[in-house]
Structure 1
Amino acid sequence: MPSLELKTNAVIPDPKSFALEFSKESARILGKPEAYITVSVTPVPIMTFAGTTDPAFVLLVTSLDNINPEKNEQYSKELAAFLKKSLSLPDDRGYMQVLRVNHLITQISR
């Protein structure tokens, strides 16, 4: 049940194609079936980061089971590489939050 929420002021020429590719790459990176992946992409007209409005991002990744400090570093590097390749977003122009969701919360919310 990984969920990835991207906010960025970078230009996304084809948002639908980008979201589909982001979903596919996220499944590969997180090692989960794409059928379980949820991706949302929110264009932000104005975003500041480090005192400028140059292209930047905030990415929130939530998941069950596969979130831990060792894997988080790998996930962050691979997700940053994808954002750089697809949107020309430098990895020093954003933040990522990687959160582990509790099973109990998921079961209660059904």
Structure 2
Amino acid sequence: MPLIQVKTSVSQPESNVVDSLLTTLSAKLAQHLGKPESYVMTSFDADVKMTFAGSFDPVCYLEIKSVGSMSSQQTKSMSEDFCQVVEDTLGG
């Protein structure tokens, strides 16, 4: 089953924001992988203590798992798409 996990250091957004983010990512992951959305799982964790480049500035980490392989072009396209969705939803 495809899975997209979102972990961020930002404070927990309102429930409707998280719901919108997860449903958008679910649909997009299914589309990118060509699999039914009924197989896709999503998760979201906020307030995670994280650093990037030695800084505690707001940061987000996305992880995608799926059975089978993904081409480098596919992962590039997904990275661009998902990062834009997260930035638009949570701010950047």
Q: Output the TM-score relative to the length of structure 1.
A: 0.66
Misfit runs of 4+, over 4 Å: none
Structure 2 CA distance for aligned equivalents of residues 29 and 82 of structure 1: 14
5+ residue gaps, structure 2: none
Structure with a larger share of its residues in strand: 1
Distance in 1 of aligned mates of 2:10 and 2:29: 19
Identity of aligned residues (%): 28
Contact 2:25 2:82 in 1 (8 A): no
**What amino acid is aligned across from residue 10 of structure 1 in structure 2?**
V
- The structure whose residues are more often helix, as a share, is 2
Post-superposition Cα deviations, 1:22-69, rounded to whole Å, max 9, x if no partner, equal 323333344332111101111234221122222111111011346111
Contact (CA 8 Å) 1:48, 1:54: kept in 2 or not? yes
1:13 to partner: Cα distance: 2.2
Is 1:13 the counterpart of 2:14? The answer is: yes
Work out which structure has the larger RCO, using CA pairs closer than 8 Å and 6 or more positions apart in sequence: 2
Could you list the runs of 5+ residues in structure 1 that have no partner in the other structure?
90-110
Q: Aligned pair count?
A: 89
- Listed as ranges, the matches of 1:1-110 within 5 Å are 1-11=1-11, 12-14=13-15, 15-65=18-68, 67-89=70-92
Q: Distance in 1 between matches of 2:71 and 2:14?
A: 34
Asked if 1 retains the 8 angstrom alpha-carbon contact of 2:32 and 2:74, the reply is no
* Bigger Rg, structure 1 or 2: 1
Structure 1 stretch displaced more, 46-55 or 24-33: 24-33
TM-score (norm: length of structure 2): 0.77
1:50 alignment partner, SS class: coil
Distance 1:70 1:22, change over 3 A: closer
